[in-house]
Homo-oligomer: A and B are copies of this chain.
Amino acid sequence: MIEHQTIENWLRKRAYLTPNRVAIKFQNESITFHQLEERATIVAKQLAFCGIRKGTFVALLMKNHPDTVYMIHALQMIGCPTVLLNHRLSPEELSWQIKDANCQFVITENPFIDWLENVDSRIIYSKDEVFDSPSKEIPLQDYFQLTDTCSIMYTSGTTGYPKGVVQTYGNHWWSATGSVLNLGLHEKDAWIAAVPIFHISGYSILMRSVIYGIPVLLFERFDEKQINQELINGSATIISVVSAMLSRLLEDLGTEKYHSNFRCMLLGGGPASLSLLEKCKDKGIPVFQTYGMTETSSQIVTLSPEDSLLKLGSAGKPLFPSSIKIVKDGKEVGSNVEGEIVVKGPNVTPGYLNRKKANEESFKDGWFYTGDIGYLDREGYLYVLDRRSDLIISGGENIYPAEVENVILSHPSVKEAGVVGIEDSKWGQVPCACIVLKEPLDLNELKVYCEKKLAKYKVPKKFITVEELPRNASNKLLRRELKKWFQ
């Protein structure tokens, strides 16, 4: 009797199955699966020369670029859990994550290399140093163990300290196959990745590309003009976007139309306004709303093709291998009752890295408690009312108020702080801070203080000072009240 917990090294398998199909398009460059596998194998041996071995935790701080894709696959080939670092974070935040995951190595590139000065006793390589290294022959992974850790991505929470989300090879595999059973797979499919590949939204496109055998059209950054061009000329069939991107695409598109090849605008990363969805419907743009997070290795709930124009505002139903329920006061509730969104499935993380307590809190009987609020309608379609009540989503990036508040509170002149997300036409939401001071303070100084410690997008766009923060009887901050103060 055979145990099936492994899968052949997927890049190698793909390169064997369809060597001449295009794997990556980037600017004017096209890379086939054969070339990608060949390049990743060389890089794996160069990384080996640098001292990286199976099981070594490696942090990656790189932009959207084919080199980053080579690096990601090379690390999978060696069998290294890879910590994907967000290059929008501050040096202090990066340093914290690198230490928290206990990465022995960091691989990065200019200009980020200077940010890592203070990350002591780690070995830091620029990508060029790796690419200039000699090779060392080491055993590469013929098979991936589905339960092995593939990637780690940090996400914050109510505590204000980010947690590393473990994503296994199995998580990525089941995410890709779960998605294909909903969205289908056409011979001419090509997926645009203009979202960061250090986020699960981008990383998962790279995995799907290899598992499906389709090209990823990789962009260093989101550029609505270039992307609209691809969608108009029919060279891409699917794109992952957040609502801020969708707005920009629509605005730039004007009266033009997308090619009939284009079949899926996969819209995730937070709520979208009904007016935006209706505008898309009017233009015949096939928007598939989706709900997912780092912990679910991208989508877990997505609209199906036949519902994409009928169920505006809903995120749809779970992917085939995944399950969903709504829990209120510890009990599963029926349709049309609001509660916490609770999910299960082989694409859900096995847990947070070295966070026993958080794991105990978030996982119960095999279900993951997302902290987000929503309800299921009678037919079982999910409506997400609020990402976890305090979560701010700004241009697709998650901002946890507690994390920003912790930084503000660390300033000696600050007594209390409350951070909330305020609607913004460009970014969806932006963080704003309300503070109570111990002593007079120039608010600009406070802003600069935050900029040193936080990623730019997390720094409050507005600071106001008040006598007292709105709290309830048990002293809990009333964020809804706070929001009104900014409007």
**Contact partners of A174 in chain B: CB under 8 A:** 4
Q: Judging by beta carbons under 8 Å apart, are B17 and A320 in contact?
A: yes
Q: Judging by beta carbons under 8 Å apart, are B184 and A17 in contact?
A: no
Question: Is A321 in the interface zone, CB < 8 Å from B?
Answer: yes
Q: Judging by beta carbons under 8 Å apart, are B380 and A16 in contact?
A: yes
Give residues of chain A (188-227) contacting chain B, Cβ–Cβ below 8 Å.
Answer: 211-213
Q: Judging by beta carbons under 8 Å apart, are B344 and A1 in contact?
A: no
Q: Distance (Å) between the CB of A344 and the closest chain B CB?
A: 7
Q: Could you say which of A64-72, A108-116, A345-353 contacts chain B? A: A345-353
Q: Judging by beta carbons under 8 Å apart, are A211 and B320 in contact?
A: yes
Question: Is A389 in the interface zone, CB < 8 Å from B?
Answer: no
Residue of B nearest to A166 (CB): B1
Q: Judging by beta carbons under 8 Å apart, are B359 and A1 in contact?
A: yes
Residue of B nearest to A13 (CB): B320
Question: Is A243 in the interface zone, CB < 8 Å from B?
Answer: no
A72 to B293, CA, bound (A): 37
Q: Distance (Å) between the CB of A169 and the closest chain B CB?
A: 12
Q: Which of B16, B177, B184 contacts A186 (CB 8 A)?
A: B184
A323 to B180, CA, bound (A): 22
**Contact partners of A18 in chain B: CB under 8 A:** 304, 306
**Contact partners of A180 in chain B: CB under 8 A:** 177, 180-181, 185
Chain A window 162-185, contacts with chain B (Cβ cutoff 8 Å), 1 for yes, 0 for no: 000000001000100100110011
Residue of B nearest to A174 (CB): B4
Question: Is A120 in the interface zone, CB < 8 Å from B?
Answer: no
Residue of B nearest to A2 (CB): B366
Question: Is A387 in the interface zone, CB < 8 Å from B?
Answer: no
A323 to B144, CA, bound (A): 13
**Contact partners of A350 in chain B: CB under 8 A:** 1-2
**Contact partners of A21 in chain B: CB under 8 A:** 306
Question: Is A129 in the interface zone, CB < 8 Å from B?
Answer: no
Question: Is A45 in the interface zone, CB < 8 Å from B?
Answer: no
Question: Is A187 in the interface zone, CB < 8 Å from B?
Answer: yes
Q: Distance (Å) between the CB of A170 and the closest chain B CB?
A: 7
Q: Which of B16, B211, B317 contacts A17 (CB 8 A)?
A: B317
Residues of A within 8 A of B (CB): 1-4, 7-8, 10, 13-14, 16-19, 21, 170, 174, 177, 180-181, 184-187, 211-213, 304-306, 317-318, 320-321, 323, 344-346, 348, 350-351, 359, 363, 366, 368, 379-380
A-B contact pairs, 22 of them (CB 8 A): A1-B351, A1-B359, A1-B363, A2-B344, A2-B348, A2-B350, A4-B170, A4-B345, A8-B323, A18-B306, A21-B306, A177-B177, A180-B185, A181-B185, A181-B211, A181-B212, A184-B184, A184-B187, A185-B185, A186-B186, A187-B305, A187-B306
